Structure 1
Amino acid sequence: MACVYDENNDVSAILFDLDNTLIQTRKGDSKACNKLVEILQQEYGLPQNLAVESASNFLRAFRARPDDDSYALDEWPAHLWRNCLPKNYKHIAKNISAEWLKLRFQYLALTNDVIHLLETLREDYLLGLITNGPSRAQWQKIDRLGLRKYFDCLLVSGDLPWEKPDQEIFLEACKLLNVEPRSCIMVGDKLETDIKGGKEAELAGTVWIPLQKDEESSDLPDFTIDKVTLLPEVLPHSPRLKRAANRTNEC
């Protein structure tokens, strides 16, 4: 695919992924479950091995299916806990689920430096959020974490006919922001969805934040950074991005 970044075409909008980009979902959920292992032992008397097994099984099941429309939103994790706790402890599932939700959103909360980044960027750019996942589960995160106020548009794939990497979801964000695709940058942690989709939608550029530092590098993203707060280093006003744009425009 031809390079589409044009240093003379001002970037006016930035599209963000949510999970493991703006919020550390995998790390946060793991921390919440680790804390629940302590609670299961100290407050409910589970042996360590059973507490660890129950929390591990719950996290695996929750990651595989974070929501089920046949249950009330907050009842679904309680159902999963009920399935994962030992027979003699299933009666505590509702209490443990409530602890899980409280701890989860505590650990997923935007850090001060990410809040500062979003507030600063909004002074110069339109900001969009594009996240894949079940509608209720993703909007629960958005609302519980108070994210709406930082974005000019928010798209959840569960509400739409497409999900990343389908270019249509990126083009829909551009349409809602009233900007051209070549005026947008996509920032995300997944090569196969965020970066691939951004390239296929012919956005101005893509910025990859690998989930693990040892992830294999790729030529697919225009830029790779270690964490989202380093994004200003590769924005169009920076000499670094302009030098790279000059190189890529030669391809």
Structure 2
Amino acid sequence: MDLDTWRHLLWTQALGDQYHMLAEDIYPTWLQLRYHYLALSPEILNLLSKLHKNYLLGLITNGPSRAQWEKVERLNLYSCFDIILVSGDLPWEKPNRQIFHKACGYLEVEPRQCLMVGDKLETDILGGIQADLGGTVWIPLSADILPHTECNPDYVLDHVTELPALLPHNPKITEFKFRYNKEKSKFNVSLDYDDCNSNSSDGS
């Protein structure tokens, strides 16, 4: 079934026998609100535009293929990234190292030339570590304290807009300058912009 039919069915089941008829009105309202709140702010769009002038950008997202590509299209992300990978199209999802290496292959760069930026320790950061990427940057969704875990990021930022300041000034990041991609005239950064739901959910 198509994506709209599937979601309508989920709403019908969730509402139960007494209220299932409301799905006809609730689903389009939910969809409208979903993309209202998922929309990228002007400062994020400006950040992506500035980064894209100097870096190769990749988006890796977990979730069902049709649902995730709907997000990409509605949020007009094609112009922001050099490669977009959806786990629903592949045999792996984050944190499996293979999906990160697949992105590196498309970008024609080595894993050690890439920086993983994400908000989920258990998928983004752990995956970046297991894939042996050049570095990982965690941006918590709230004022979370870094727990005791094997998913220890190299850097923690309060907000993704702080990323440009980290790249040129931090001593560890300077190693990326020696891996400059002369052919493409850009450095390479892997960014993750999943929304705040579970690894492979289409729900929130």
| TM-score computed with the length of structure 1 as normaliser | 0.64
Q: TM-score, normalised by structure 2?
A: 0.78
User: In the alignment, which of 129, 144, 148 is matched to residue 59 of structure 2?
Assistant: 129
Tell me the residue number matched to 2:163.
Answer: 231
- Secondary structure of the residue aligned to 1:123 is helix
SS for the counterpart of 2:117 is strand
Aligned counterpart, 1:192: 122
In structure 2, what is the equivalent of residue 102 of structure 1? 32
Question: What is the match of residue 171 of structure 2?
Answer: 242
**Cα shift at 1:142:** 0.8
Higher relative contact order (CA 8 A, sep 6+): 1
Bigger shift: 171-180 or 78-87? 78-87
Name the larger-Rg structure: 1
Unaligned runs of 5+ in 2: 176-204
Q: Post-superposition shift, 1:89?
A: 3.4
Letter in 2 for 1:106: H
Deviations 1:47-97 (A, max 9, x none): xxxxxxxxxxxxxxxxxxxxxxxx320122222222233644322212210
Change in Cα spacing, 1:86 to 1:155, as seen in structure 2 (3 Å) is: closer
Task: Give the Å deviation of 1:217.
Answer: 4.3
Distance (Å, rounded) in 2 between the aligned partners of 1:113 and 1:229: 8
Alignment of 1:13-32 (within 5 A): none
Q: Indicate which of 196, 210, 217 corresponds to 2:140.
A: 210
User: How far does residue 203 in structure 1 lie from its aligned partner after superposition?
Assistant: 1.1
Quick one: distance in 1 between partners of 2:160 and 2:6? 31
The residue matched to 1:187 in structure 2 has which SS?
Answer: strand
Deviation, structure 1 residue 229: 1.3
What does 1:83-98 correspond to in 2, within 5 Å? Answer: 83-85=13-15, 87-98=17-28
Please provide the CA RMSD for this pair: 1.9
Q: Which letter maps to 2:43?
A: D
Please state whether the residue corresponding to 1:206 is helix, strand or coil.
strand
Question: CA separation in 2, counterparts of 1:224 and 1:217?
Answer: 12
